A and B are shown apart, each in its own frame.
Chain A
């Protein structure tokens, strides 16, 4: 009964209802949009670190991630990789071997980090193959190709087609040296990486470092990177005991901190926007209660309890909140999706910003995250109930006779 009455009351003053709803809708929609923008920014930042280099999760022997010693390697098992790939949460798994040494061309010698990869599998984990500024990404896990970071290529004055020498000490203490052929140049926007990283084939590096059949890490790409930490114990269970799983939060603690602090700012932002919108709801309901004094009087006179009147008004505000939420979320999600593809290029105004181990690209791009819908929705309904409470209490305290008289 109360529901029908609540619906009818809202319907009776459609314009006011719509106006109040519009304020709430705009708050919800823009809140969802701005949270989407922030999520997009953090996703880009995280992606810059994970999809350009680390992966969302890394498997290695425990000592390796801290010290990166050549000897902390483990045997490469394709079965293990395939087993990992079968999991639904894992989008890709790539084996890697890493070596530090001197890269030289025509009298120029620079220190560099060589990452031995299997191009087919690497593409499932990182997006370096889409960041080439020159040349092509190789398709084969063999051969002496090398993809250089832009800065490193500039220091060596190397272009696709040029030959380089790599020189290092292999795992057996011997001198490792071989020729590499530049097939491509990548640019991630991250200064350190572009200046020292070079990709080579896994087989080639295994031979050079005399680490046949061994790798330093398996990098994983996850379906939902933000829940990487939850997946750690699950993956650990599938691994031989000498291997350890590192999620990106452990590899990049500064970034995890930044993203955690974002949860706080998200909440503050929401409260501010809702405070402004909530005052509007409060206003509307006072109006509507004052307008309907006579009507409430009648209801009280025919025996409706004051509590029922209060509930009626609360129900109306809740209903209003739900309707606005529905419509606002729709608009918000629509706008978020609109900006989630290519986004808006801002490179005319700013260049990329390096922050907390990641890089924020100059592009306004949103990311739709369920969390960004749930919490704002719940809090909005709460705000509506809160804003409805004062008018509801007032309505329930009316004296029938006085009310009927129309004071």
Chain B
């Protein structure tokens, strides 16, 4: 205990140095914590908009559909839907049918992907549909009203309310044509999608394709993504349907998952560099203070203290610096996180469009989320690093030869 008090007093003997060291420590901890929280928030935001606009946190496909997109791999979900909807962990089940076809207006024709959706459910989840005003939403599953990508609308030289004909080959091999009217216009920000997307009610799409009641995918939006119990329950549910496969979002949207991994890896690398620089700063401070006090240490050693005591003293000093740095840094890190959670970084001042990342478009307001466990973890790393930083200075201090030091 005396040693602790001694260490504490030693540190404050040179206030300025200690403060500067603490500032460097706190600054780095704050930076690392805040940017981790921010990117966790942004990643979560991307994943959330990705799964909501795309294929859900989890998706049920027929085996092989994900890679081949073979239209024949559809299935009848009617036996499955009530059970899925009953699961408490499931927020929404979005059945969808995807059909390749041709859209024609009186001027032009374009290849399209006709997507049959359950309008009511989808309007609550899909960010692009949520952005549409209420009177532009698809009314039901059977109407002839359709939502078109904005580029497609332009290329077909259509206007809202205008009609177009969709032609496709149904499952029986016949060419089927059907009239639709532009009801709403969707802008996803992704060029390929905006020039090929046509959304209609699922019943009509299934009738058109000659596969009434069938779907290609069931996108599951979960209340708490990645809950193992829910996943296990889903697997049990699907076990009866031998041909169906449960796919996680990071497989269904591999590009997004990889983009996030890549981004986070480079961020971790930068964290590592920052921590290294800070550690060197701590070594520097401790070593300087050892050199400064060589006379004093010489005296202590001459009085019969063992070098181990000096070692302990220095480790205690490092521990104190680290802990105070951890406290201060976490305080500032929390403040920064609090700001980033409450206010976020609004990029709309700088860019007028959405942000695209890994094939996902999301709102340009970056918001952090709290990750207290990680904040604590990084703080503890810093304390450990500080203690490690004391190794060399302690070694030097222990090797001070009393006589030489006193002469100094």
Contacts and interface: CB of A to CB of B under 8 A. Distances in A.
Counting chain B residues whose Cβ lies within 8 A of the other chain, the interface size class is 35 or more
A286 B20 contact: yes
Contact of B258 (A41, A275, A353): A353
Interface stretch (A15-23, A165-173, A176-184): A15-23
B29 to A, nearest CB: 11
A350 B17 CA distance: 44
Nearest to B288: A287
B280 A23 contact: yes
B258 A352 contact: yes
Which among A23, A30, A291, A360 has the highest number of chain B CB atoms within 10 Å? A23
Contacts of B27: 275-276, 279
A38 B262 CA distance: 11
Interface string B164-203: 0000000000000000000000000000000000000000
Given A280-B277, A350-B258, A350-B262, A16 B269 contact: no
A369 to B, nearest CB: 17
A27 B277 contact: yes
B55 interface: no
A269 interface: yes
A191 to B, nearest CB: 9
Contacts of A254: 356
B30 to A, nearest CB: 11
B281 interface: yes
Contacts of B280: 19, 22-23, 26, 280
A28 B254 CA distance: 35
Contact of B262 (A279, A280, A360): A360
Which among A37, A277, A356 has the highest number of chain B CB atoms within 10 Å? A277
B259 interface: yes
B68 to A, nearest CB: 10
Which among B21, B261, B262, B269 has the highest number of chain A CB atoms within 10 Å? B262
Interface of A is mostly: helix
B142 interface: no
11 contacts: A19-B283, A20-B284, A23-B281, A37-B266, A272-B270, A273-B270, A276-B274, A276-B281, A280-B281, A351-B258, A354-B358
A3 interface: no
Nearest to A22: B280
A11 interface: no
Interface string B265-281: 11001100110111011
Interface of A: 15-16, 19-20, 22-23, 26-27, 30-31, 34, 37-38, 41, 254, 269, 272-273, 275-277, 279-280, 282-284, 286-287, 291, 349-356, 360, 362
Which among A19, A23, A283, A291 has the highest number of chain B CB atoms within 10 Å? A283
Contact of A353 (B262, B285, B287, B356): B262
Contacts of A37: 266, 269
Contacts of A282: 20
A280 B276 contact: no
Q: Which 6 A-B pairs have the closest CB atoms?
A: A279-B24, A280-B281, A23-B280, A30-B273, A19-B284, A283-B20
A351 B20 contact: no
Which among B20, B280, B285 has the highest number of chain A CB atoms within 10 Å? B280
Contacts of B270: 34, 269, 272-273
B273 A350 contact: no
Which among B20, B21, B270 has the highest number of chain A CB atoms within 10 Å? B20
B6 to A, nearest CB: 21
Given A15-B291, A16-B284, A283-B17, A34 B273 contact: yes
Nearest to B35: A272
Interface string B252-263: 001100110110
A41 B255 CA distance: 16
Contacts of B261: 349-350
B16 A286 contact: yes
Contacts of B16: 286
B380 interface: no
A287 B17 CA distance: 7
A53 B266 CA distance: 28
Contact of A276 (B277, B284, B357): B277
B274 A273 contact: yes
B345 to A, nearest CB: 12
B332 to A, nearest CB: 13
